[in-house]
A and B are shown apart, each in its own frame.
Chain A
């Protein structure tokens, strides 16, 4: 004969009600936190994926900050190049005036003074600082990019390469140009730089005489070549800014995908979780009610 022993009945009821309560509590905590995973062992594969995703999220945040910084540097470089171009255009106007044979030596010496001032401005521009406080056109060096040599020529103090910024996913962009890419050019096959050109012109104009107007005419060609170099540099900067924007767009799209995957892998589906919680609670209530009813049916109640 199989008897239904009283302790077996309570043991079973305890087991069932305990299991239901545990399940309800786990679902409740999922609803409360919005996260399906309270600890890694709830779903080890999903948790490992979540860690990878959060790593990418963190690193991509750094990439975004770095690329914003590179963008700022490139915009500063663009501004400095525009100012340099204006300066060269003004120098060309002055050279054109000075090449006019009707000008007196006094007039030319005035132009020479202005050109002299422009040399100083050009030096300041060439030593423009970037966001981090280093010379924008000095490559990876930390000091000034240019100094004026004894003959008035520009002396490049920086390094041979422009600093690279890592944009993530293996892509990088130089965040500036080095001085020689901007200020050094060759005119009629002779290599020279803007500092030299301006210094030579202002020196010749200050000296005066017939040679002054010839020097001014010769400087016109050189300044044209210099201006061309600067506009080329501006085009390069523009292309790099475009590249950063492309990568940023791509990063934003990838981040959106990551965020979506994070919520798919680790987030709790609220509607489904609440429904399951309700279901569990209904079953729990029914079990509790039936437990009370059944445990009240004892033969002792009927024996008077």
Chain B
């Protein structure tokens, strides 16, 4: 069949309309998260010359070949990797900052110094009832400070647990969505707008999943994705239409572990990885805080046992309980402070045992240990802050690089609008020419 100008023009207008639709879609989705710029693929329609007709002109216009997604797999993978790192360090930093506030705002260091000061004040007159009461009160506030630090640390840990378990649930939700998309995308026709939308959703879900945990992905030709957690040799999380459940296990010391389908995985990235690291740091801080409290209680109680109280009897332990959370006063009566050495009579103002306590308190370096604890926590926050800023910048630039390649440029779309409008008009003009030719033919012989 020879070429038909009207049909060619019609196919041209149809293609131009399609391209205008895609352009309008791009403009409409310029700010949509995860939207990848589409372009319309076009292909020429022409018949191959057959036998005896190899000189024939056989043109049939243009057809829409399909919708292309301008997605760069490498840049998308980079965004997932860097986002995962940035999310991990952000989550870890946030957790560590909570731990820092929990310990710092309870002011254990200041409380220890106040107790030291009270002991020193008492040494000026060990039998003064008000100084004794003040010393016991300072010991009480020190115990209170440790209690508050312990409780705040507990609630920080609880908050981290809550967030982690919510995030694990969210990851399971995403995995479920991914299995549905996997099934749908294998059925969607190649080049269809449906497929492009599904792939957008798939990539968007993968990116959101990578914010939660470190994933390694493997794409099949049909567009479905297999996801593993905990590195490329990790456990299979999503494969085709099935997802293994991600579960969180909590150890007695508050640290958490994760399993996929029952098999343990080590998550080194994503917010879940960061929370797990923060929980490790919290467990460590708690051990140190408990050791600090236990050390102080041991020093003071040993000194009490070595001395004589104002009533002439041996001193009972000033502190009871175990750990920072259980630290409590053994008595509140100031006269029971054993300031005098063993064997002193009742009412003795002899300060030898008090001096020994002060020397032991200073010698055991409780204040220095508390300072060291605060320094350890705050310096890990400071160093994570630097890491987090760096990883955030890297993730942002990966994101920008992806956006530059796959995002919508409104100027370009505006130019496309003009271009395809002109193409449409030109095809219309071709139709007009076809009509005129037809009219000319009809006019022959009139």
Q: Which residues of A contact B (CB under 8 A)?
A: 2-8, 10-12, 15, 39-45, 47-48, 51-52, 54-55, 58-59, 61-63, 65-66, 69-70, 132, 134, 140-143, 159, 163-166, 298-300, 303
The 8 tightest CB contacts between A and B, nearest first, are A5-B407, A40-B378, A41-B381, A8-B403, A44-B379, A299-B414, A132-B125, A41-B378
- In the assembled complex, how far is the CB of residue B20 from the closest CB belonging to chain A, in whole angstroms? 14
Q: Which residues of A have CB within 8 Å of B411?
A: 298-299
Stretch at the interface among B209-217, B248-256, B367-375: B367-375
28 contacts between A and B (CB under 8 A): A5-B403, A7-B30, A11-B399, A40-B104, A40-B377, A41-B97, A41-B100, A41-B377, A41-B381, A41-B385, A43-B382, A44-B381, A45-B379, A47-B374, A47-B378, A52-B371, A55-B109, A55-B367, A58-B117, A63-B120, A65-B121, A66-B124, A69-B124, A140-B348, A140-B351, A142-B347, A165-B123, A303-B417
Task: Determine if B101 and A39 form an interchain contact, defined as CB atoms under 8 angstroms apart.
Answer: yes
| A7 to B79 Cα, complex, angstroms | 15
| A166 to B415 Cα, complex, angstroms | 86
Query: Which residues, 28 to 52 on B, are CB-close (under 8 Å) to A?
Result: 30-31, 37
From known contacts A48-B374, A303-B414, infer whether A61 and B117 are also in contact, taking CB-CB under 8 Å.
yes
Query: Which residues, 82 to 107 on B, are CB-close (under 8 Å) to A?
Result: 97, 100-101, 104
Interface-centre pick from A45, A58, A299 (highest chain B CB count, 10 A): A299
Q: Which residues of A have CB within 8 Å of B374?
A: 40, 47-48, 51
- In the assembled complex, how far is the CB of residue A58 from the closest CB belonging to chain B, in whole angstroms? 5
Task: Determine if B404 and A59 form an interchain contact, defined as CB atoms under 8 angstroms apart.
Answer: no
Number of B residues with CB within 8 Å of any CB on chain A:
54
Residue from A11, A65, A159 in contact with B403 in the complex, judged by beta carbons closer than 8 Å = A11
Q: Which residues of A have CB within 8 Å of B97?
A: 41
Q: In this assembly, does B54 line the interface, its C-beta being within 8 Å of a C-beta of chain A?
A: no
- In the assembled complex, how far is the CB of residue A201 from the closest CB belonging to chain B, in whole angstroms? 35
Q: In this assembly, does B350 line the interface, its C-beta being within 8 Å of a C-beta of chain A?
A: yes
| A298 to B408 Cα, complex, angstroms | 13
Task: Determine if A299 and B415 form an interchain contact, defined as CB atoms under 8 angstroms apart.
Answer: yes
- In the assembled complex, how far is the CB of residue B40 from the closest CB belonging to chain A, in whole angstroms? 17
Closest to A14 in B: B396
Closest to A67 in B: B124
- In the assembled complex, how far is the CB of residue A47 from the closest CB belonging to chain B, in whole angstroms? 6
- In the assembled complex, how far is the CB of residue B204 from the closest CB belonging to chain A, in whole angstroms? 14
Q: In this assembly, does B73 line the interface, its C-beta being within 8 Å of a C-beta of chain A?
A: no
Q: Which residues of A have CB within 8 Å of B30?
A: 6-7
| A40 to B128 Cα, complex, angstroms | 38
Q: In this assembly, does B436 line the interface, its C-beta being within 8 Å of a C-beta of chain A?
A: no
Q: Which residues of B have CB within 8 Å of A140?
A: 348-351
Closest to A7 in B: B407
Q: In this assembly, does B177 line the interface, its C-beta being within 8 Å of a C-beta of chain A?
A: no
Q: Which residues of B have CB within 8 Å of A132?
A: 124-125, 127-128
Q: In this assembly, does B412 line the interface, its C-beta being within 8 Å of a C-beta of chain A?
A: yes
Q: In this assembly, does B220 line the interface, its C-beta being within 8 Å of a C-beta of chain A?
A: no
Q: What 1/0 flags go to B108-126 for Cβ under 8 Å of A?
A: 0110011011001101110
A-B contact count (CB 8 A): 146
- In the assembled complex, how far is the CB of residue A24 from the closest CB belonging to chain B, in whole angstroms? 17
Closest to B344 in A: A140
Q: Which residues of B have CB within 8 Å of A58?
A: 113-114, 116-117
Closest to A138 in B: B349
Q: In this assembly, does B409 line the interface, its C-beta being within 8 Å of a C-beta of chain A?
A: yes
| A41 to B417 Cα, complex, angstroms | 54
Extra contacts besides A41-B97, A44-B375 (8): CB < 8 Å? A2-B405, A12-B400, A47-B375, A48-B371, A55-B109, A62-B117, A142-B127, A165-B123
Query: Which residues, 359 to 418 on B, are CB-close (under 8 Å) to A?
Result: 367, 371-372, 374-375, 377-379, 381-382, 385, 396, 399-400, 403-412, 414-415, 417-418
- In the assembled complex, how far is the CB of residue B125 from the closest CB belonging to chain A, in whole angstroms? 4
| A41 to B378 Cα, complex, angstroms | 4
| A258 to B441 Cα, complex, angstroms | 108
Q: Which residues of A have CB within 8 Å of B412?
A: 3
| A121 to B189 Cα, complex, angstroms | 119
Q: Which residues of A have CB within 8 Å of B351?
A: 140, 163-164
- In the assembled complex, how far is the CB of residue B68 from the closest CB belonging to chain A, in whole angstroms? 14
Closest to A161 in B: B350
| A213 to B377 Cα, complex, angstroms | 85
From known contacts A163-B349, A299-B411, infer whether A44 and B400 are also in contact, taking CB-CB under 8 Å.
no
From known contacts A7-B31, A39-B104, infer whether A59 and B116 are also in contact, taking CB-CB under 8 Å.
yes
Residue from A3, A44, A62, A300 in contact with B120 in the complex, judged by beta carbons closer than 8 Å = A62
Q: Which residues of A have CB within 8 Å of B350?
A: 140, 159
| A62 to B125 Cα, complex, angstroms | 13
Task: Determine if A40 and B100 form an interchain contact, defined as CB atoms under 8 angstroms apart.
Answer: yes
| A59 to B375 Cα, complex, angstroms | 21
Q: Which residues of B have CB within 8 Å of A54?
A: 110, 113
Q: Which residues of B have CB within 8 Å of A134?
A: 125, 127, 349
